[in-house]
Structure 1
């Protein structure tokens, strides 16, 4: 047998004997225990590395601590003649449960025969010696010294103390005293106020689940506290102990509250979570519970998932993680509901002893019974008699506002095999499912209940393949199935929406004619992620066509579904990467949507898809781009290209008149010139106050130039937006070579981050550049000193005869990185093409954002003797997504294949540098 597998008792008996004999000095005794701990902890670590289960390792560490604590206690007694004193060393909390992860705290209760304030000196000295030695050996000990009466009082005052004491376990000392504590604790704390304890545990559970969004499918879950985490398992043990007098979940199987399959799933999940937590503690060398993206790759590799790439290994590991946590979440939630029903029934029974008559809240229909807001089976043969009831069940839930009862959930799962090919092709089921999806505003709730009991993925196997599928893209927070359901929830929220900012979406959703087609397209839009195809949209379209065949969907509805699935990213990409002021762009997009009804549906789809991706995916700036594209395309479809251009002219005229009305009369000629000389694109979807700032900035620039006779004069206005976390700067000056590169260089030199930018050049040569910027702490640039330093640096760069960016752009730590380590790479790319824009070469950049990136992009363009005609700069969650439109000096596309290839190589190096900085 390998050395590390020998029993702990054998090792301890031999290794710790000198400490018990009292022949060692205090320093020698500490050294002995440290050496013993180091050896035994390493043996446990080797077992973990060899693939041992999570509970095996956690119990091994608890057993090791028991051995050391018991030895230290006995050694302290031996130092006092070896006579027993009436005191017990009790493990509580996680240590009391006998499952202690590598860096978890050791919580100990010193149980005393009398009040801690009246403890005899001998016992005080014994307690101190044990405690000090534990600290000296290296334990992080949480401790309390209390009598039985004090423990009972603390438990009554604080539920945390009560739950910690539920797990109390004797480690050393007076067994009789501990037995007396257990008896008193059970009588005074567990057998009394059971309902109150249950209500408190239920409230704690709800508040914790609310904090973690009521889902296990978070991108970076907390192994202990998140939904389905270790705390959910422990909570049901506490409740079971109080409610049933037994914390062994196997007893719930005997009581038929839990199936043997469910019990096995819970126990396997609990063991898996402990194994994950063990690895987190070993790797980070601290009590880490947050399973970050970086640590997910570490755990997947340590657990030897066979996939070659770290991304695939991580996806497979997280799929296992989500399945296990979902099992704990669903089964423990069901048990809490069962206990809740029992409590309600008990209360009702007491009430009937006082009331002769009581109105029954009960309804029978279609083989079901509705009672107290939950639906029950009339008998266990209802699905055998009519399998189609499986689908009608969810329609009843939706229409009647009911919840699935625990017995109904068990019965549905027992009939999974009934959801076969004939069931999927059944006309009756097809019509029922369509009716569910046509009930606007109440679809997500029904689909979530179908998904929870495994019906949705079996009825729609295309969606079922997304179950627990990780989307390790930087902007996705949820698994593919959870993301889809949240998108549907976003649509549902639009029914009855009262927020004025959401009025346009609510109106469009109310007016949409084919809610069934829209909801079904949302269900299908990401199904291709489970297919082995390069672009998930292609796979989704293939699966959508197959599903339409099975559900007998034809004609316009089929066309709408296929259109939405095929183009579900088109609206977003166009709005965030293209020049929306260019009529050619609007013309091209209008040719894709073709009709107003399709535009409305795609706009709603994009709204739901973005908001269902993560809570911060939809902000005011991106929404403004979406609205600009929607309104421009609506006008284009309504009036045609010529009328659309005329409408733009009319809008500019109206905007000019409004600006004139709010400015002093001496500014009116400036406003007229500004509208005559500025590109038309500069006025599209601009507020009057924006134009006022531009006009004033230009006047102040011209005044400064006239007063100083300085050809390099500039004027910069600063506008802070604290709510948005950024500052807007408006720059006016004469157009000059390398101007964009120089201002980006100055910003980068002062560690100022560029979020977005717009660049405009008037016909008289004056440029107006608008930047949205923030600090590396993602705050507005409001510090006067930082502003002054930027202006000084910009002046130096602007006036230098030769631009030397290396003097200002020293390589520094990339403070914009989401984490110092990134095992999971952010997808980066540099795509150069002549196929996107009719007159410009397009450069699409996606890279880890860093200070100076935009400068380097412009520097590369200038180095090749090219111009930047337009740029769409966007930063999201630490990732730069920039689109640059460049031309030759003659205003044409870059046609030279050699130059194009050099551009591709140079831009590829830039995004790689961003990843490595």
Structure 2
């Protein structure tokens, strides 16, 4: 018995004595148990705050529950005239003897006979115990079963079998529980091993798929995620079923697991318990998601010494990823070992006797390949020739092999051989180059290198990214995981038959130097580990160093440096600049210089975006990138004059298509529309939507002549895309955009993107992509009518009070309270050389009414908004607004710009 449990038991005997002797009323008994629990829980929490280990706290809470349940059981049993033959058994997590603060309690009342034949006295005992537990405040899941019923349930349902494998007697009939253990082991655990193993393997696969098969998520799940607590439980259950082992240390004794791996597994499990304890204590409930907000809280409460919360969080999350990576890799290796055993057992069976001769076994270069895995011919292969380690990964790539558990252990054992001479060796350099030239197969090879710690040792520049947290809001993965997914996104294009990706697939096939391209990907984010102001600068320095070591020169080196230096340039131009402006296209083309660079950077930008998070790529991004790529390609190929002529030809072709789509009676209006609309309106415009705009303009002009409120709207719903597109036609007038945004916000309609176009006759065509707070199309008629009525009301007044329409409400676009790690909001104003407008770059937490507030500040500053790039993603608004003085021209007054920036920052800082 532990010292804690002994002290706890002694305390319980004294404090709970009145309850045991039956001296209290039911209410007094409940109050006594609550008081005892509160005091002991407080003592345990103080130990947690003092730095106690995760398992220490979880076990202390389990021991506390054992004592309380035993007292409750004893108190209830003493009232009975006869000795009670029943066992109070803990199952599930509680059965494992660990209980986190917010976890439920799962109990089994083990009965001496079938549950439907239970004597009334035992039924009353069970009810009394449960009622008392509920009254004291426990969340209890329970079942009442006999031994036979338990075994039947275990055979019928593997999940029940799993829960009962962790069964532990708390109090009651020891002989009955001993009998249960013996029969359960013989009749349930020893039988049905194949089905049980398949269940656990499918559970593992399903959970890992749900969490993107990586531990390196921005907001990981401590219990169910990759490398989470469930992975530990899973391997314990499998080891129990396959080998009868109750402790993982027995796997070490059996030489299945190394001592180092066992230590790392247990350390990770203890760390996860400590994190989960903190999550439960802090939230007051069973919380498993390590959100961005909670990362800062946990790091601070765990007393990480770094001065800023970002640095504390970074250090804590690096520890978290290190532990979960160890747990993830070791447990998946163990599952693979057991899977190999299953395959060998199947091969020895009669069914596979006819096919076993066809199984290929190949020996080469000190390795053996069989059943899709590569093994060492003996344990001395790397001692004989360390360069074999590099060739190992080339073999896996060429032969499509996975690393076997033995070869993974052997590589880790020889980490010290991956030294400076190894990194400078020409033979290794040439093999590594060969690996990076096989389009479509690079990602798998590099991921296997990374898993065994080889890649970061061969390329220390990349190794510094291991488990490195990226504080940028849109990044879902750590820096190393993002880079590997970047490469895998490129590889996936080789065999893709998605017509939407044809352009990128063609660009990949056209890459003449895949070695330079893949090497640039590996290097593009390496500067994040350098703590420099701009990570691109750090990446460029490291790229130069690596090129020197790998002796990369000439055109190849220039391409690598170009991609590293400009890996954000394409995205920045496409999303923040007016890419319909020929001068913007000319400036961008000047940076690209050649079509091959342009194509490579286009492909680079696509895959970089896809690798940021699973849902980061969308049609909006695709359209912007394609538009800029197409324009720059034509500019580079034909020059400025021919580029302008091609734009005119495209516009003429679109006009012909619109005439065919609109039908008779529209010729004059179509001609006027195409003459008066700015060039930006016509780029990539669907010929089927232009007639809708024309009909809105016709109705607007009719209403204007009749003296009605001069504004007309049309809406197209796209439920499959989760949005609606709204076109609003009006006259160019002060504060009109602000009023439109106010009308949207008043109905809790969120603006996802917006484009504004003004004809030369002063008619404005504003295009909005909007959604509900549930991220669906705006199809509710009351909501639509509310928007129309509000806009009409606002349009008839020169002055209005936004507070009347925008009453403070909970931010419906956010799922949790504001993060302790501040979202990187910013407002940056730029006057570009040679431009005729002032550019405002904004990043903020999205909320209903944000765009209205931004336009209001701009209008109050005496400026007009002439163009905008509005984008909403993952709950964040990333907008670029172009503003001018009334009548045109940049705003250059420093005092005016400083005041504007301050006011904008006030707006975007509100949550």
TM bucket, shorter chain: over 0.9
Q: What is the deviation of 1:357?
A: 8.9
Q: Counterparts of 1:91 and 1:603 in 2: how far apart (Å)?
A: 58
**Equivalent residue for 1:378?**
377
**Equivalent residue for 2:65?**
65
Change (3 A) 1:114 1:405: same
Q: What is the deviation of 1:284?
A: 1.1
Q: What is the deviation of 1:21?
A: 1.9
2:825 is equivalent to residue 831 of structure 1: no
Change (3 A) 1:762 1:353: closer
Q: Counterparts of 2:281 and 2:798 in 1: how far apart (Å)?
A: 57
Structure 2 regions of 5+ residues with no counterpart? none
Q: What is the deviation of 1:837?
A: 5.8
Q: What is the deviation of 1:23?
A: 2.3
**Equivalent residue for 1:228?**
227
Q: Counterparts of 1:596 and 1:106 in 2: how far apart (Å)?
A: 65
Deviation string 1:829-882 (CA, Å, 9 cap, x unpaired) is 111121366221111111122222222222222223222221111122222211
2:208 is equivalent to residue 192 of structure 1: no
Q: Residues 866 and 886 of structure 1 are in contact (CA less than 8 Å); yes or no, is this contact kept in structure 2?
A: yes
Q: Counterparts of 1:393 and 1:806 in 2: how far apart (Å)?
A: 68
Partner SS, residue 756 of structure 1: strand
Q: Counterparts of 1:583 and 1:510 in 2: how far apart (Å)?
A: 29
**Equivalent residue for 1:93?**
92
Alignment of 1:704-743 (within 5 A): 704-706=703-705, 708-710=706-708, 712-743=709-740
Q: What is the deviation of 1:153?
A: 0.1
**Equivalent residue for 2:419?**
420
Change (3 A) 1:837 1:311: farther
Q: Residues 825 and 845 of structure 2 are in contact (CA less than 8 Å); yes or no, is this contact kept in structure 1?
A: yes
Alignment of 1:255-294 (within 5 A): 255-294=254-293
Change (3 A) 1:879 1:156: same
Partner SS, residue 7 of structure 1: helix
Q: Residues 723 and 778 of structure 2 are in contact (CA less than 8 Å); yes or no, is this contact kept in structure 1?
A: yes
Q: What is the deviation of 1:698?
A: 1.0
2:787 is equivalent to residue 790 of structure 1: yes
Partner SS, residue 772 of structure 1: strand
Alignment of 1:422-821 (within 5 A): 422-706=421-705, 708-710=706-708, 712-821=709-818
Alignment of 1:296-311 (within 5 A): 296-311=295-310
2:101 is equivalent to residue 102 of structure 1: yes
Q: Counterparts of 1:237 and 1:609 in 2: how far apart (Å)?
A: 38
Change (3 A) 1:544 1:353: closer
Q: What is the deviation of 1:898?
A: 2.3
Deviation string 1:701-748 (CA, Å, 9 cap, x unpaired) is 112223x234x4221111112122222111222222222222222222
Q: Counterparts of 1:357 and 1:722 in 2: how far apart (Å)?
A: 53
Q: Residues 297 and 314 of structure 1 are in contact (CA less than 8 Å); yes or no, is this contact kept in structure 2?
A: yes
Partner SS, residue 109 of structure 1: strand
Partner SS, residue 688 of structure 2: helix
Q: Counterparts of 1:765 and 1:359 in 2: how far apart (Å)?
A: 78
Q: What is the deviation of 1:527?
A: 0.8
Q: What is the deviation of 1:819?
A: 2.2
Q: Counterparts of 1:496 and 1:690 in 2: how far apart (Å)?
A: 34
Q: Residues 729 and 765 of structure 2 are in contact (CA less than 8 Å); yes or no, is this contact kept in structure 1?
A: yes
Partner SS, residue 666 of structure 1: coil
User: For structure 1, which segment, 12-21 or 141-150, has the greater mean C-alpha deviation from structure 2 after superposition?
Assistant: 12-21
2:862 is equivalent to residue 865 of structure 1: yes
Q: Counterparts of 1:667 and 1:24 in 2: how far apart (Å)?
A: 92
User: For structure 1, which segment, 295-304 or 892-901, has the greater mean C-alpha deviation from structure 2 after superposition?
Assistant: 892-901
- Which of 846, 852, 857 is the aligned partner of 1:855? 852
Q: Counterparts of 1:52 and 1:58 in 2: how far apart (Å)?
A: 10
Change (3 A) 1:623 1:275: same
Partner SS, residue 760 of structure 1: strand
User: For structure 1, which segment, 781-790 or 480-489, has the greater mean C-alpha deviation from structure 2 after superposition?
Assistant: 781-790
**Equivalent residue for 1:884?**
881
**Equivalent residue for 2:7?**
7
Q: Counterparts of 2:321 and 2:777 in 1: how far apart (Å)?
A: 38
**Equivalent residue for 1:131?**
130
Q: Counterparts of 1:398 and 1:332 in 2: how far apart (Å)?
A: 24
Deviation string 1:177-231 (CA, Å, 9 cap, x unpaired) is 1111111011101112222321221122112211211111112211111111111
2:142 is equivalent to residue 152 of structure 1: no
Partner SS, residue 278 of structure 1: helix
Q: What is the deviation of 1:642?
A: 0.6
User: For structure 1, which segment, 553-562 or 764-773, has the greater mean C-alpha deviation from structure 2 after superposition?
Assistant: 764-773
Q: What is the deviation of 1:353?
A: 11
Change (3 A) 1:90 1:807: closer
Q: Counterparts of 1:376 and 1:13 in 2: how far apart (Å)?
A: 60
Partner SS, residue 348 of structure 2: helix
**Equivalent residue for 1:895?**
892
Change (3 A) 1:818 1:308: farther
Q: Counterparts of 2:193 and 2:787 in 1: how far apart (Å)?
A: 66
**Equivalent residue for 2:317?**
318
Q: Counterparts of 2:654 and 2:643 in 1: how far apart (Å)?
A: 16
Q: Counterparts of 1:193 and 1:753 in 2: how far apart (Å)?
A: 54
Q: Counterparts of 1:131 and 1:863 in 2: how far apart (Å)?
A: 66
Partner SS, residue 666 of structure 2: helix
**Equivalent residue for 1:142?**
141
Q: RMSD over aligned Cα, in angstroms?
A: 1.8
**Count of equivalent residues:** 909
Q: Residues 447 and 485 of structure 1 are in contact (CA less than 8 Å); yes or no, is this contact kept in structure 2?
A: yes
Q: Residues 4 and 44 of structure 1 are in contact (CA less than 8 Å); yes or no, is this contact kept in structure 2?
A: no
Q: What is the deviation of 1:426?
A: 0.8
Partner SS, residue 688 of structure 1: coil
Q: Residues 352 and 358 of structure 1 are in contact (CA less than 8 Å); yes or no, is this contact kept in structure 2?
A: no
Partner SS, residue 869 of structure 1: strand
User: For structure 1, which segment, 658-667 or 442-451, has the greater mean C-alpha deviation from structure 2 after superposition?
Assistant: 658-667
Change (3 A) 1:47 1:80: same
User: For structure 1, which segment, 787-796 or 344-353, has the greater mean C-alpha deviation from structure 2 after superposition?
Assistant: 344-353
Q: Counterparts of 2:353 and 2:755 in 1: how far apart (Å)?
A: 75
Structure 1 regions of 5+ residues with no counterpart? none
**Equivalent residue for 1:30?**
30
**Equivalent residue for 2:76?**
76
Q: Residues 735 and 859 of structure 2 are in contact (CA less than 8 Å); yes or no, is this contact kept in structure 1?
A: yes
Q: What is the deviation of 1:34?
A: 1.3
Q: Counterparts of 2:485 and 2:237 in 1: how far apart (Å)?
A: 32
Deviation string 1:122-165 (CA, Å, 9 cap, x unpaired) is 22222222222222222111111111100000000111110111
Alignment TM-score, normalising by the size of structure 2: 0.97
Q: What is the deviation of 1:604?
A: 0.3
Q: Counterparts of 1:221 and 1:572 in 2: how far apart (Å)?
A: 28
User: For structure 1, which segment, 296-305 or 770-779, has the greater mean C-alpha deviation from structure 2 after superposition?
Assistant: 770-779
Q: Counterparts of 2:664 and 2:121 in 1: how far apart (Å)?
A: 93
Q: Counterparts of 2:833 and 2:348 in 1: how far apart (Å)?
A: 73
Change (3 A) 1:286 1:432: same
Q: What is the deviation of 1:463?
A: 0.7
Change (3 A) 1:72 1:801: closer
Alignment TM-score, normalising by the size of structure 1: 0.97
Q: Residues 220 and 292 of structure 1 are in contact (CA less than 8 Å); yes or no, is this contact kept in structure 2?
A: yes
Partner SS, residue 552 of structure 2: coil
2:163 is equivalent to residue 164 of structure 1: yes
Q: Counterparts of 1:270 and 1:239 in 2: how far apart (Å)?
A: 17
Partner SS, residue 133 of structure 2: helix
User: For structure 1, which segment, 263-272 or 863-872, has the greater mean C-alpha deviation from structure 2 after superposition?
Assistant: 863-872
Q: What is the deviation of 1:813?
A: 2.8
Q: Counterparts of 2:120 and 2:890 in 1: how far apart (Å)?
A: 91
Q: What is the deviation of 1:5?
A: 9.9
Change (3 A) 1:356 1:403: closer
Q: What is the deviation of 1:801?
A: 3.9
Q: Residues 217 and 482 of structure 1 are in contact (CA less than 8 Å); yes or no, is this contact kept in structure 2?
A: yes
Deviation string 1:271-312 (CA, Å, 9 cap, x unpaired) is 000111111111111111111111112211111111222222
